[in-house]
């Protein structure tokens, strides 16, 4: 049996989901439990505010399960980095040195996370990175390493997308946002194609929030591209691209990232435009437990999840960290908590079971083998592709 793999849960279950010395935080919770003082940082007031919302809500939704299953409660100290790396660096220092948090959740954006990563690493405090996918966020040259990721990383995403997009007889191009996420995606896809002797015949960048992409999609069409890799941050940009393709009678195969799960995509596009669209993710969106969580989300917040993968990753981060704290027995003994994370035997999250989720040399929850291909049905529901 592989030491690290993800299995579908076989039974229905309850939803699962700076100095070097700790001071100013309490390990003892109410009624004999353990309390964690957690710093939560993300882009609350920025164009990418949905990644703050899902950061916050993913943690909130996991609280009851963390307390029930592991006896751990979280005292949240929240900060708005505005999506700005410099602001994030200042606020991380505040969380670590003034607030003396036990663990950091976030930042949500890769650019900010990359800026603060060395600071958190030097602090010797655990870090649940949450949403950002940049590979470099977890730097294994720094040991012991304090960062743990419960989302996928870019390398896994690139491999999954490339396996779907490239193939015999296909002419592959790309359209991407000119923000940090999109540019990183383009750089990674381009590098992957060159490394593997694959031909990315045309790539077009688009400013986030553009009202039309006819120029870019016409360029792809003129280049004979029949398969388009799409790398946008928001569902709205995905929808704008689809409308622009319809306007120029261009109907290629679309291979997107999981950011297409943003509800704005199906709200702002038409069912006829979804037929040739697929994306990949390592999460089982059809599990009963995740469907239950989605209903709980709607009941709690009055709307559909904005980015379901982000909610999942923070739910998983909260449960996984709670499991490690319970195993160590002391939320302020940071080396013990880190060691417990690296030696966890099994963690269940929303119908998926992870055996040996982390190790000393691997702080990534997912593996490339975990990925599943999805599309949309006529009602806009996510379904596993044939």
| pLDDT tens-digit readout, 341-377 | 999 999 999 999 999 999 999 999 998 888 999 999 9
pLDDT tens per residue, range 218-246: 999 999 999 999 999 899 999 999 999 99
Kindly tell me if the per-residue pLDDT of 26 is higher than 60: no
Q: Answer yes or no: are the C-beta atoms of 80 and 112 closer than 8 Å.
A: no
The reported pLDDT for the residue numbered 261 is: 86
Q: Residue 296 has which token pair? A: 């709980």
Question: Please, which residues have CB within 8 angstroms of residue 312's CB and are 6 or more apart in sequence?
Answer: 58, 283, 290, 349, 350
Chain centroid to CA 108: 8
Tell me, what's the pLDDT at 249?
A: 97
Domains and CATH numbers, the chain: 5-152+286-369 (3.40.50.2300), 155-281 (3.40.50.2300)
Residue with structure tokens 């291979």? 255
Using a cut of 0.85, tell me whether the model's pTM lies above it. Answer: no
Cα separation of 147 and 341, whole Å? Answer: 10
| pLDDT value of residue 340 | 98
Higher pLDDT, residue 327 or 263:
327
| Per-residue pLDDT reduced to its tens digit, 67-109 | 999 999 999 999 999 999 999 999 999 999 999 999 999 999 9
pLDDT at 278: 95
Query: With 90 as the cut, is the pLDDT of residue 146 above it?
Result: yes
Position 4 scores a pLDDT of: 38
pLDDT, one tens digit per residue, over 166-183 is 999 999 999 999 988 899
What would the mean pLDDT of 126-134 be, rounded to a whole number? 94
> What confidence category does residue 197 fall into, taking pLDDT thresholds of 50, 70 and 90?
very high
Which is more confident, 263 or 63? 63
Arithmetic mean of pLDDT, 28-50: 85
Q: Would you place residue 32 in the very low, low, confident or very high pLDDT band (cuts 50, 70, 90)?
A: low
pLDDT at residue 15 tops 60 = no
**Full 3-state SS string of the chain:** CCCCEEEECCCCCCCCCCCCCCCCCCCECHHHCEEEEEEEEECCCCCCCHHHHHHHHHHHHHHHHHHHHHCEEEEEEEEECCCCHHHHHHHHHHHHHHCCCCEEECCCCHHHHHHHHHHHHHHCCCEECCCCCCHHHCCCCCCCCCEEECCCCHHHHHHHHHHHHCCCCCCEEEEEECCHHHHHHHHHHHHHHHHCCCCEEEEEEECCCCCCCHHHHHHHHHCCCCEEEEECCCHHHHHHHHHHHHHCCCCCEEEECHHHHCCHHHHHCCHHHCCCEEEEECCCCCCHHHHHHHHHHHHHHCCCCCCHHHHHHHHHHHHHHHHHHHHHCCCCCHHHHHHHHHCCCEEEECCEEEECCCECCECECCCHHHCEEEEECCCCCEEECC
* pLDDT for the residue 140: 93
pLDDT digits (tens, 9 = 90+) for 282-299: 999 999 999 999 999 999
């Amino acid at each position: 049996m592989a030491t690290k793999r993800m299995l579908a849960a076989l039974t229905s279950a309850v939803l699962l989901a700076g100095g070097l010395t700790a001071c100013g935080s309490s390990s003892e919770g109410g009624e004999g439990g353990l309390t964690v003082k957690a710093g939560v940082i993300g882009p609350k007031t920025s164009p990418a505010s949905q990644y703050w919302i899902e950061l916050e809500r993913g943690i909130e939704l996991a609280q009851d399960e963390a307390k029930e299953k592991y006896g751990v409660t979280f005292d949240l100290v929240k900060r708005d980095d505005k999506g700005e790396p410099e602001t994030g660096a200042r606020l991380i220092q505040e969380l670590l040195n003034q607030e003396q948090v036990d663990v950091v959740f976030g930042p949500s954006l890769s650019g900010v996370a990359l800026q603060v990563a060395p600071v958190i690493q030097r602090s010797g405090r655990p870090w649940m990175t949450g949403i950002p996918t940049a590979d470099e966020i977890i730097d294994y040259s720094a040991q012991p390493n304090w960062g743990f990721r419960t989302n996928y990383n870019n390398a896994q995403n690139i491999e999954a997308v490339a396996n779907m997009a490239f193939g015999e007889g296909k002419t592959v191009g790309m359209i991407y946002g000119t923000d940090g996420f999109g540019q990183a995606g383009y750089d990674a896809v381009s590098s992957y194609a060159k490394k593997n002797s694959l031909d990315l015949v045309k790539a077009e960048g688009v400013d986030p929030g553009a009202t039309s992409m006819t120029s870019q999609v016409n360029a792809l069409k003129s280049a004979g591209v029949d398969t388009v890799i799409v790398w946008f941050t928001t569902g709205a940009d995905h929808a704008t691209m689809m409308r622009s393709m319809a306007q120029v009678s261009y109907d290629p195969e679309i291979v997107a990232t999981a950011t297409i799960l943003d509800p704005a995509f199906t709200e702002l596009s038409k069912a006829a435009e979804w037929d040739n669209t697929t994306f990949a993710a390592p999460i089982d969106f059809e599990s009963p437990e995740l469907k239950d969580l989605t209903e709980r989300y709607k009941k709690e917040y009055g709307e559909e999840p904005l980015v379901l993968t982000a909610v999942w990753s923070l739910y998983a981060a909260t449960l996984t960290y709670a499991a490690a704290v319970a195993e160590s027995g002391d939320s302020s003994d940071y080396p013990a908590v880190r060691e417990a994370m690296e030696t966890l035997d099994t963690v269940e999250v929303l119908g998926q079971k992870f055996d040996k989720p982390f190790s000393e040399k691997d702080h990534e929850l997912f593996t490339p083998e975990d990925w599943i291909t999805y599309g949309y049905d006529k009602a806009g529901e996510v379904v596993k592709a044939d």
